[in-house]
Amino acid sequence: MSDKKPDLHSAYALNSPNEHKRLYAEWAGDYDDGFAAREDYQLHTHTARAFVGAGGQGPVLDIGAGTGLCGAVLSGLGVGPIDATDISADMLDQAMRKDIYRDAIEADLTQGIPVPRESYSGIVSSGTFTHGHLGPEVFPALLRVARPGAQFALSINARHFEKLGFAEKLRQLEQGQIRNLTLPEVRIYGDLAAGPNKDDTAFIALFERV
């Protein structure tokens, strides 16, 4: 454990799965009441509502579930069952305490997701593609666990959307693997946020698996 308290700058600076595990092990206990509340974090709410608005339904896999912020909104909107997956066991431990998830799956997305093919009717992700340390190379792993017709709602930080190849990857997937792609843009933080990232936005990639 470091003496420096984890913060948004630390998260944006992550470069590897091991760094991610270390940071979020320290951050897990304080994430909801500290970061999310202090920064007026809103992306999880936008993502969950977009998923439901597009007709999404369970069973759902919450990708990079963290402490379960997005899953809690989904559950409150009547969606279920929901499974959580994250690289951080400590974050998943916090998520499971909310009693909204059916199962917790510890996984590094770059190594795949250890569940059977076509397990889910919905795939959501809020914040996983926000910091820039994870790119569109993991999309095939998400598509593998989605059923034909499954609804996706994936938030992607706008500043990384073109630079890290998300736009190009989605264009490629539209050639026979996904359909009905829309990209509404939302604010990641609310009006109470401060600091250099307070005006950051994200696209929510809404689409269905063919």
Digit-by-digit pLDDT tens for the chain (210 residues) are 334 443 444 444 444 455 554 554 454 445 445 555 567 889 999 999 999 999 999 999 999 999 999 999 999 999 999 999 999 899 899 999 999 999 999 999 999 999 999 999 999 999 899 776 789 999 999 999 999 999 999 999 999 999 999 999 999 999 999 999 999 999 999 998 888 889 999 999 999 999
**190's tokens:** 């609310």
Chain centre to alpha carbon of residue 178: 19
Return left, alpha or beta for 48; rule: phi > 0 is left, psi -120 to 50 is alpha, else beta.
Answer: alpha
Considering only CA atoms, give the Rg of the chain. 16
**50's tokens:** 């977009």
pTM of the model: 0.84
pLDDT at 31: 47
- Distance, in Å, from the CA atom of 84 to the CA atom of 50, rounded to the nearest integer, reads 18
Chain centre to alpha carbon of residue 141: 14
Chain centre to alpha carbon of residue 30: 19
pLDDT at 130: 78
- Distance, in Å, from the CA atom of 163 to the CA atom of 136, rounded to the nearest integer, reads 11
